[in-house]
Structures are given as structure tokens and as C-alpha cells.
Amino acid sequence: MDARASEGGVAVEASVTGPPQADAAGKGVSLAPAAGPAAVVLGGLSLSHLLNDMMQSLLPAIYPLLKQAYSLDFGQIGLLTLAFQLTASVLQPVVGLFTDKRPMPFSLATGMLLSLCGLLLLSHAGSYGLLVMAACLVGLGSAIFHPEASRVARLASGGRYGLAQSVFQVGGNAGTALGPLLAAFIVVPLGQPSVALFAIAALIGFVVLSLVGRWYRDRLRAGAARGKKGGAAIRALPRAKVIGTIAVLLVLIFSKYFYMASLSSYFTFYLIHRFGVSVQESQLYLFVFLGAVAAGTVAGGPIGDRFGRKVVIWGSILGVLPFTLALPHANLFWTVALTVPIGLILASAMPAILVYAQELLPGRVGLVGGLFFGFAFGMGGLGAAVLGEVADRTSIEFVYGICAFLPAVGLLAVVLPRLDAPKVA
């Protein structure tokens, strides 16, 4: 079955088996997804993503603890986030480009081991320099994990690409939401060394990803044995139009993750400073926001499969604006309440953006995953660093006042060409 769409004279035709993928030798052997999503594989990817991002989210979750223990200012907190985010951001497109030509099934498990090393170092770091090194190790693990995991998710999708990306990404968002909760009840009472307890999660993730790697390896071998290119030809947009569209998508990612950085990195400080809540209470309120992000990710992919990616991108980026504008002026109850629709609406965009970009660049799944996940991490890190400096020079309330307007950048979504047609379930 083929899906076809045309708009403004541009036609796009794609088989549900997807575009040809490179085999282990990089020779363009088809790796078409199985008939119907491979639920066990997607579940394993989602679980490992949960464990991976849960470990990563421990770092910003214990910022108040580290700030007090090491006498850090907001600028140093921002640079700590930048060290993690840029390590992940800069390397992810490189990893994705390499694995497009030479897939590495067991690199997923390797990435988990690097995150484990970063966690252990974080638990015993005695200086700011070691904290930065630990953040870089965790970022390196993320850089290796995400591009290849995104490729496996598409391979296991059975043609339901948005659903597969949502299942994969919701694991990461759920893990990010769990981090502050676990920090509040484990790390804050027991102290920095208790971070080492989460090595158990890394070991579980290593086992799961080793099994996923075996499935992926077998699919690579099966594709190489067939030795043929599957999937329909794709009549894509002109090169200049593709580059311009990718640029617009990256600007939308910038607005989304710059704003997300204001909440994920500084929301606890904002609540403590403005409303006088305790550190533990602030972690629980952050969990509410991150839980909404996880829920929003579930919806974005399937809605995009049914109604089109552009509909989701347009609504999710711009639809959040009224809520972000109201948040800096709300009391404690409404501040927490407003983070729920903000998280839901913002998070629904990422699966749709990723699949939209994969359709723009067929056969470059790893590069797209690395570029967009990496850029998202980079913008999160840059946002944390810039907003930290702004908070030091002005106030944390001022930061939330200016960030409220960032979603207005979503108006650029109007120029995106429509690549897919709504599908009837």
C-alpha cells in the first residue's frame, strides 16, 4: 500500500515499507519494517529510553543540592547543563551520519554503559570539574543511544511511523519526569552518593538494549541476504526547498527547547524564590510538568499519522502561547496548573517533527535522528546557560517573563509544505 500526497505541484510517494536503508556494509539494502509494529521491540526501546533519560534527568533534578554543596551560582549551573547538552548535541549528527552507512546494532548498549560511568562519577565527584566531566560522559552516552534507537523504532513501526516515534519518545519523557521524583525521595534525603544506586537501572537498560541489538542485527542480516532495494521511489522536494524546510523545523525546535529549558532547569528555583516552597515540594511540582510532557508525546505521533504532521506541528508549537503568556502572572496553584497544558501541547510536536524530517530526507534516518535530537539537546543546554546568566543579572522572574513569548516563533510553521495526507484509521 502506498501513501501519496501533492501540494503546490510537489508530489510525494512513499511505500509504507519505508525508504531503502543501508545494510551493515552500507550498500543500500532494504530494511523494510515488519507487517504491523513490532510491539516487543518498541516496548524495549521505550523502556530503555525511560531508564536512559531517567538517569540523565537526575543531574538537573539535584541542581539545588549541588548548588548548595559546591556554592555554585546560576551561571555555573547553566554551564553544567551546557556541558551535558553540547556533548550530546554535537556528536549525535556525526553518530547518525556514520550509522546510516554502517549500522551498529550493539552501540545502543554501549551508550548505556557510558551513561552508567557518568552516573558513578557524578555520585563521587568532589569538585566542579569532576561534575562537568560526569555530565559529559552522560551526554556522550546519549549521543550514541538516540540516533540508532530512532532508526530501530522506525524499522519496528510497521509503517505507523508517528506511533512508533511516540512510543519511543514517551519512554524518554517518562524517564525525565521520574528523575525529579526519585531525586526528591532518594537523592535529597540520602545525599549525592545515593546517585550510584541508579546504576541498577543502567544495568537493566544494558540487558534490554543487548536483546534489541540482536533483533536489529538479525534484520540487518536478513536485508543483506535479500540483497535488493525495497520500497517505492520517492519524488521529493527540490534540494533548496528541503534545506529551507529543515531550517524552519530547527527554528521551531529552538523555540520549543529554549522554553523547555526554562522549566526543566529553573522551575524549582522559580517556585522556591517566588512562592517559598521547599526543595522537595518544588521537585514534586516539576514532576507534574514533566508528566504532562510524557502524556503529550503519546498523542503527537498517532495524531500525525491520522491527520498529517503539519497539523500537529502547527497546533503544538503555536497553541501553547496563551498558557505561557499567563504563567508569569499566576499564583502558585495556577502556575502549577498551567504547566500541564504547556507540557502536553509542546511535547506533541517532537514525534511529528521527527517523522516529517525523515520523510524530507528518505534513507537518512540516523542523520535526522542525530540532527534533531542533538539540536534539541543543544538548544536545551544553550537555553540553560543563557537563561542562567540572565537570571544572575536580573531575576528568575524576569526570565519567565521573556520566555513566555518564545512560542510565538511557531508562526513559521505556516510555511511548511504538506508532505503527507490524513489517513483513515
Termini Cα distance of the chain: 14
Q: What is the pLDDT of residues 384-404, one digit of tens each?
A: 778 888 888 888 889 888 888
Domain ranges, ordered by start, for the chain: 18-415
The residue whose grid cell reads 510555511 is: 415
| Apex 379 CA angle, 364 and 84, nearest 5 | 95
Q: What is the pLDDT of residues 299-347, one digit of tens each?
A: 777 777 777 777 777 777 778 889 999 999 999 999 999 999 998 888 8
Q: What is the pLDDT of residues 346-355, one digit of tens each?
A: 888 888 888 8
The predicted pLDDT at position 225 comes to 59
Superfamily of domain covering 18-415: MFS general substrate transporter like domains (1.20.1250.20)
Q: Mean pLDDT, the chain, as a whole number?
A: 78
CA distances from 131 to 76, 80, 269, 405 (A): 11, 8, 20, 33
The predicted pLDDT at position 327 comes to 93
Average pLDDT over residues 65-70: 84
Among candidates 224, 206, 230, 19, which has minimal Cα distance to 102?
224
DSSP H/E element including 91? helix 74-101
Alpha helices in 125-198 (DSSP H): 128-155, 161-182, 188-190
pTM: predicted TM-score of the whole model, two decimal places: 0.66
What is the rounded distance in angstroms from the CA atom of residue 265 to the CA atom of residue 377?
A: 13
Helix axes 349-360, 239-264, angle to 10 degrees: 160
The residue whose grid cell reads 524499522 is: 155
Average pLDDT over residues 58-74: 81
The residue whose grid cell reads 498551567 is: 338
The predicted pLDDT at position 421 comes to 46
Kindly give the pairing relationship between strand 10-15 and strand 2-7.
antiparallel
Among candidates 114, 154, 161, which has minimal Cα distance to 21?
154
Average pLDDT over residues 78-87: 80
Q: Which amino acid is at 247?
A: A
- Reduce the DSSP state of residue 103 to 3 states and report it: coil
What is the rounded distance in angstroms from the CA atom of residue 244 to the CA atom of residue 246?
A: 5
Biggest CA pair distance of the chain: 64
Residue 233 pLDDT > 50: no
Q: Which amino acid is at 403?
A: C
Q: What is the pLDDT of residues 49-63, one digit of tens each?
A: 899 888 877 887 778
